[in-house]
Amino acid sequence: MPRALLLENIDPVAVETLSAAGYEVESVRGALDEADLIAALDGVHLLGIRSKTQVSASALERHPGLAAVGAFCIGTNQIDLGAAAAAGVAVFNAPYSNTRSVVELAIAEIISLARRLNDRDRALHAGIWDKSATGSHEIRGRTLGIVGYGNIGSQLSVLAEALGMRVLFYDLEDKLALGNAQACGSLDELLERAETVTLHVDGRAGNAGLFGAQQFARMRPRSLFLNLSRGFVVDHEALREHVLSGHIAGAAVDVFPDEPREQGDPFDSVLRGLPNVILTPHVGGSTQEAQYDIGRFVAGKLADYARTGTTTLSVNLPAVALHGSSAARFALLHRNVPGVLARVDALVGEHGLNVDGQVLATRGELGYVVTDVNGGLPPALLTALEALPETVRLTTFPRYR
């Protein structure tokens, strides 16, 4: 019975989905370090993780039986995607499932910071009645600057505008503005015009240290700042200094450069205890609705790939989907050089088979071809396909045998 390993407390719907697809599923609450992951992957065909577990080239090389990795989150920077592709391991993620949850948290925190609700809450819990409008503002009519106008940033733009905010955004790519949002030509322009700045950039290495002392100094006095993207993007020492000086009137941070691995582990940050600063433990996408959708979506992608070879929305392999019900199917991941498809089809013909359906796609140095044939797959054909010098991985599918 094929095995699936799910780490980091992935929603039970993923277990249900993979179990229904014929997998023996082991679900582990926490993350694993590299040594423990390497040991746990023995005999595992499908791996599911979230953001804490690092899937290294070493772990992939030691387990050639691993077919696919599912990142049950948005980011995939915790996985060595190049090494996974070279090993023929497909990687899938959930780029849209928790978008709404992150956006709602950002809206809630913008309002909370503008009204200084965090400070009011602390005072009342301490037995102090501090009923005052000092430092408390509506967000209607204020200017929001969104850094990163992808799925989350653009949806935040729409909701913020519906609440009466003016919206500016900055992105490295040319993006279509939604509603009345205005694109800024540079990050500096956005910082000089916006009264609230929120970061929604991706995890690419080039974003490390994106926001530091220079950027905070560029922001308007008494601005608000939010980061719900990646922990390594922001210099927290610089943020602390600008909060203490009063230049930044409030901040909300959901992600940190170093985060505890297990729930309940101790946490420390230079931002703890600061006035009008909201700290949340990387829960932007942690709603029951989002986790259910992520579990269903990514587990479904893993099951489809294992059952039919479909790589639609894979982040590291060419995208292929072949619909059919032939007697047999195989998929060949190969180096992207001319003539491979012709040799594949010639081998199929040499073994007395016809091609009923076939789809080929390429991505960089890799090509991926899924082929349906009209009869069983002779062992000699599979041996010949594996012997092709360009072959990276050959897969056959039980549904079609």
Strands of the sheet containing 182-183, edge to edge, are 182-183, 166-170, 143-147, 196-199, 223-227, 248-253, 277-279
Spatial distance between the Cα atoms of 42 and 22, rounded to a whole number of angstroms = 18
CA angle 145, 149, 151 (to 5 degrees): 130
- Kindly report, residue by residue over 123-169, the tens digit of the pLDDT: 999 999 999 999 999 999 999 999 999 999 999 999 999 999 999 99
Identify whether 401 is part of a domain.
no
Helix axes 288-308, 99-115, angle to 10 degrees: 160
Measuring CA to CA, which residue among 263, 300, 283, 299 is closest to residue 8? 263
This prediction's pTM = 0.85
- Kindly report, residue by residue over 195-241, the tens digit of the pLDDT: 999 999 998 888 999 999 999 999 999 999 999 999 999 999 999 99
Measuring CA to CA, which residue among 179, 204, 208 is closest to residue 77? 204
Any idea what DSSP says for residue 54? -
Spatial distance between the Cα atoms of 285 and 292, rounded to a whole number of angstroms = 11
CA angle 218, 224, 230 (to 5 degrees): 85
Spatial distance between the Cα atoms of 238 and 252, rounded to a whole number of angstroms = 14
Single-letter amino acid, residue 292? Y
**Average pLDDT of the chain to the nearest whole number:** 95
Mean pLDDT of the region 313-317: 97
Lowest mean pLDDT among 29-33, 298-302, 381-385: 29-33
Residue among 50, 220, 242, 282 flagged as catalytic: 282
Same domain, 364 and 267: no
Q: Measured in whole angstroms, how far is the alpha carbon of residue 268 from the centre of its chain?
A: 25
Same domain, 93 and 105: no
Mean pLDDT of the region 320-345: 93
Same domain, 105 and 24: no
Active site residue 100: no
Same domain, 197 and 239: yes
Same domain, 182 and 252: yes
- pLDDT classification of 98: cutoffs 50, 70, 90: very high
Q: What total of structural domains would you count in the chain?
A: 3
Mean pLDDT of the region 31-45: 96
Tokens describing residue 301: 């992608």
Residue among 104, 161, 259, 390 flagged as catalytic: 259
Residue among 230, 242, 329, 334 flagged as catalytic: 230
- Kindly report, residue by residue over 320-331, the tens digit of the pLDDT: 999 876 789 999
- Contact by Cβ (8 Å): 393, 362: no
Same domain, 386 and 355: yes
What percentage of the chain has pLDDT greater than the value 90? Answer: 92
Same domain, 129 and 268: yes
Same domain, 40 and 55: yes
Single-letter amino acid, residue 256? F
- CATH number, domain of 386, equals 3.30.70.260
State residue 115 phi and psi, 5-degree precision: -95, 0
- Contact by Cβ (8 Å): 6, 27: yes
- CATH number, domain of 25, equals 3.40.50.720
Residue 37's domain comprises: 1-97+287-317
pLDDT at residue 401 greater than cutoff 50: no
Single-letter amino acid, residue 193? R
- pLDDT classification of 400: cutoffs 50, 70, 90: low
- Kindly report, residue by residue over 164-183, the tens digit of the pLDDT: 999 999 999 999 999 999 99
Domain stops at, among 225, 255, 279: 279
Same domain, 37 and 162: no
- Kindly report, residue by residue over 262-276, the tens digit of the pLDDT: 788 899 999 999 999
Spatial distance between the Cα atoms of 306 and 396, rounded to a whole number of angstroms = 9
- pLDDT classification of 399: cutoffs 50, 70, 90: low
Domain stops at, among 279, 299, 334: 279
- pLDDT classification of 13: cutoffs 50, 70, 90: very high
Same domain, 160 and 85: no
Q: Return the bridge partners of 183, or none.
A: 169
Identify whether 331 is part of a domain.
yes
Supply the pLDDT for residue 75: 87
Supply the pLDDT for residue 342: 97
Residues with Cβ within 8 Å of 250's Cβ and at least 6 positions away in sequence, in order, are: 113, 114, 116, 118, 224, 225, 243, 276, 277, 278
Spatial distance between the Cα atoms of 395 and 391, rounded to a whole number of angstroms = 11
Same domain, 105 and 77: no
Identify whether 369 is part of a domain.
yes
pLDDT at residue 65 greater than cutoff 80: yes
Active site residue 237: no
Supply the pLDDT for residue 331: 97
Active site residue 259: yes
Same domain, 306 and 213: no
Spatial distance between the Cα atoms of 44 and 49, rounded to a whole number of angstroms = 13
